[in-house]
Amino acid sequence: MAVIFDRPKALLDVPTHYCPGCTHGIIHRLIAEVIDELGILDRTIGVAPVGCSVLAYNYFACDMQEAAHGRAPAVATGIKRAIPESIVFTYQGDGDLAAIGTAEMVHAATRGERITTIFVNNCIYGMTGGQMAPTTLPGQVTETSPYGRDVLTQGYPIRVSEMLSTLDGPAYIERVAVSSVPNIIKAKKAIKKAFIYQMEGRGYTLIEVLSTCPTNWGLSPDEAMTWLEKNMIPYYSLGVKKDIALEVK
């Protein structure tokens, strides 16, 4: 019988520690499918962050490094500069990338490092149990914004993709969501394009993936998908934020 659906080779056959309904599994799979399809498993090196996906190095079949909190883009820079023929990606959450790792993220982007960042934005710190993130929406209730994020005292969420798109170093930046099948298909296309741009040496690439955290949002997986579409997408608009191939020469 023909096998029409199987585990990608770039994903190891191990149980993950993610909560039921968490979308990290989907995003891991998309990256792994892209690595398989591009035939780059041998030369791909991934960098895991600190946060919910800290153990991502146990799930991807390629060589992996675990970075300190927020430092993944610097670690990835070290790997890519040491082995320029490698394909290097960082997998980072919103706290890791947009709070403690802001400097590393901005400077890897503006240097145009030939690396790909998969930025998983779920508006909350998941691993530590649901605190306010730099991307937490105005009014959103978390453990450290129990009365709802008050922008007058707690500031505004960062739109990372738009911010980085003002720089000259990035080659391709797109925001996607994994909230529905059509969106997941678009997300995979974007991830694949980012890896291809890296293979072509075009510059820094970042795909921001809007994702859910049913556990810390206090919603069922299904309700979480609806919450994402109703609340996150209006604030974090989907689509291409920068693509050097589309820019007028």
Query: Is 194 near another protein (CB under 8 A)?
Result: no
CA distance 194 to 15: 27
Collapse the DSSP code of 205 into the 3-class scheme (helix H, G, I; strand E, B; otherwise coil) and give the result. strand
Per-residue string for binding with another protein, 124-143, x by CB under 8 A?
--------------------
Residues 6+ apart with CB under 8 A from 82: none
Q: What is the largest CA-CA distance in the chain?
A: 61
Q: How many CA atoms lie within 13 A of 61 on its CB side?
A: 19
Query: Is 78 near another protein (CB under 8 A)?
Result: yes
CA distance 95 to 100: 7
In this chain, which stretch among 56-64, 120-128, 147-155, 208-216 interacts with another protein, using CB under 8 A? 56-64
CA angle 51/53/57 to nearest 5° reads: 125
In this chain, which stretch among 36-44, 120-128, 179-187, 225-233 interacts with another protein, using CB under 8 A? 36-44
Query: Is 229 near another protein (CB under 8 A)?
Result: no
Q: Which amino acid is at 189?
A: K
By beta-carbon proximity to another protein, the closer residue of 102 and 131 is: 102
In this chain, which stretch among 57-65, 138-146, 184-192, 218-226 interacts with another protein, using CB under 8 A? 57-65
By beta-carbon proximity to another protein, the closer residue of 12 and 141 is: 12
Query: Is 76 near another protein (CB under 8 A)?
Result: yes
Query: Is 41 near another protein (CB under 8 A)?
Result: yes
Restricting to residues 103-122, which ones interact with another protein according to CB under 8 A? Answer: 103-104, 106-107
Contact predicate 206/186, CB 8 Å: no
Query: Is 82 near another protein (CB under 8 A)?
Result: yes
Strands 87-93 and 116-121: parallel
Query: Is 77 near another protein (CB under 8 A)?
Result: yes
Closest CA to 27 of 8, 3, 50: 8
Query: Is 154 near another protein (CB under 8 A)?
Result: no
CA distance 132 to 141: 8
Query: Is 65 near another protein (CB under 8 A)?
Result: yes
Contact residues: another protein, CB under 8 A: 12, 41-45, 47-48, 54-55, 57-58, 60-68, 71, 74-83, 86, 103-104, 106-107
